[in-house]
């Protein structure tokens, strides 16, 4: 998939997540037991589930929730990783050693297991899901930012700025932060796709969002029993939404990274 095609797909997906319920022929995901288990057609483009709810509307609502959690996770993870990596690369010494040892410890623990542990203690909480994902995703950004800042802190123009009496805070803001933030933004964009997978996995396993809350993971969890009844659309469309979102986000992020290089 080319970057242009991925951008187009991403825009369509975002538009579908926002305006999908308005475009649905049924216009609602309310329970309708007279329309249970209907396959894709003119009345229900993605079919209905065992409760008669319109899947086209449900997938749109689920994408909006999952993407919201993913973007919040990526934003907070990028902010934490940028702050830690920038401080570690700028000051070095004991701060660098402590920050990187914490990052090593977080990386050594399987991210999904740590997320399961945190989310299980606060079941059904969106905040807990975001916090658990941030704790397991900031390390990559921190390492990238640190590796970019380390060579710059002893650069001639940085040393000249320090010798001229420029405060350390201004040196960081003017000379180091622009370089670090550019790489952090690319890492954050890649984290969005990764966070979608993690959130969907947590909800699928039953420790993320509760069953009555719309998310791509809960839709996949609900599809397990229906799949045995031949209702394949309940699995195909939510899974297709996850794949399309993560693939398009990854391609767009990689293309932006190549342009910046």
Query: Could you tell me if 184 and 83 are in contact, meaning their C-beta atoms sit under 8 angstroms apart?
Result: no
Query: Could you tell me if 11 and 17 are in contact, meaning their C-beta atoms sit under 8 angstroms apart?
Result: no
Q: Estimate the share of the chain in helix, then strand, then coil, as percent rounded to the nearest 5.
A: 75, 0, 20
Digit-coded pLDDT (tens) for 189-212: 888 888 888 888 888 887 877 777
Q: Is residue 119 part of a domain?
A: yes
Q: Is residue 46 part of a domain?
A: no
Q: Is residue 29 part of a domain?
A: no
Q: Is residue 180 part of a domain?
A: yes
Of 62, 67, 69, nearest to 11 (Cα)? Answer: 67
Q: Please state the domain count of the chain.
A: 1
* Domain assignment of residue 221, given as a range: 3-18+54-259
* Separation CA 7–CA 10 (nearest Å): 5
Q: Is residue 152 part of a domain?
A: yes
Q: Is residue 33 part of a domain?
A: no
Q: Is residue 192 part of a domain?
A: yes
Number of other CB atoms surrounding residue 253 within 10 Å: 22
Q: Is residue 58 part of a domain?
A: yes
Backbone angles phi, psi at 231, to 5 degrees: -85, 70
Please tell me whether the overall predicted TM-score, pTM, comes out greater than 0.75 for this model.
yes
CATH of residue 206's domain is: 1.10.3720.10
Backbone angles phi, psi at 54, to 5 degrees: -70, 120
Digit-coded pLDDT (tens) for 44-86: 888 888 888 888 988 998 999 889 999 999 999 999 999 898 8
Interior CA angle at 21 toward 15 and 23, to 5°? 75
């Amino acid at each position: 998939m080319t970057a242009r095609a991925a951008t187009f797909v991403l825009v369509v997906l975002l538009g579908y997540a926002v305006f999908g319920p308005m475009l649905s022929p049924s216009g609602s995901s309310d329970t309708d037991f007279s329309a249970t288990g209907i396959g894709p057609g003119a009345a229900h483009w993605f079919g209905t589930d065992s409760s008669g709810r319109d899947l086209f509307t449900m997938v749109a609502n689920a994408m909006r929730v999952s993407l919201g959690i993913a973007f919040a996770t990526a934003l907070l993870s990028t902010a934490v990783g940028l702050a830690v990596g920038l401080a570690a690369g700028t000051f070095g010494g004991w701060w660098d050693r402590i920050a990187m040892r914490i990052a090593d410890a977080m990386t050594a623990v399987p991210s999904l297991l740590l997320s399961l542990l945190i989310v299980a203690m606060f079941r059904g909480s969106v905040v807990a899901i975001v916090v658990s994902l941030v704790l397991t995703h900031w390390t990559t950004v921190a390492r990238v930012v640190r590796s970019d800042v380390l060579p710059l802190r002893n650069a001639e123009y940085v040393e000249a700025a320090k010798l001229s009496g420029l405060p350390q805070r201004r040196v960081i803001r003017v000379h180091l932060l622009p370089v670090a933030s550019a790489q952090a933004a690319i890492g954050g964009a890649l984290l969005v796709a990764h966070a979608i997978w993690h959130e969907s996995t947590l909800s699928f396993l039953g420790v993320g969002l509760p069953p009555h809350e719309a998310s791509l993971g809960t839709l996949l969890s609900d599809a397990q029993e229906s799949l045995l009844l031949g209702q394949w659309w309940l699995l195909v469309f939510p899974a297709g939404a996850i794949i399309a979102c993560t693939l398009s986000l990854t391609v767009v992020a990689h293309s932006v990274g190549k342009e910046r290089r």
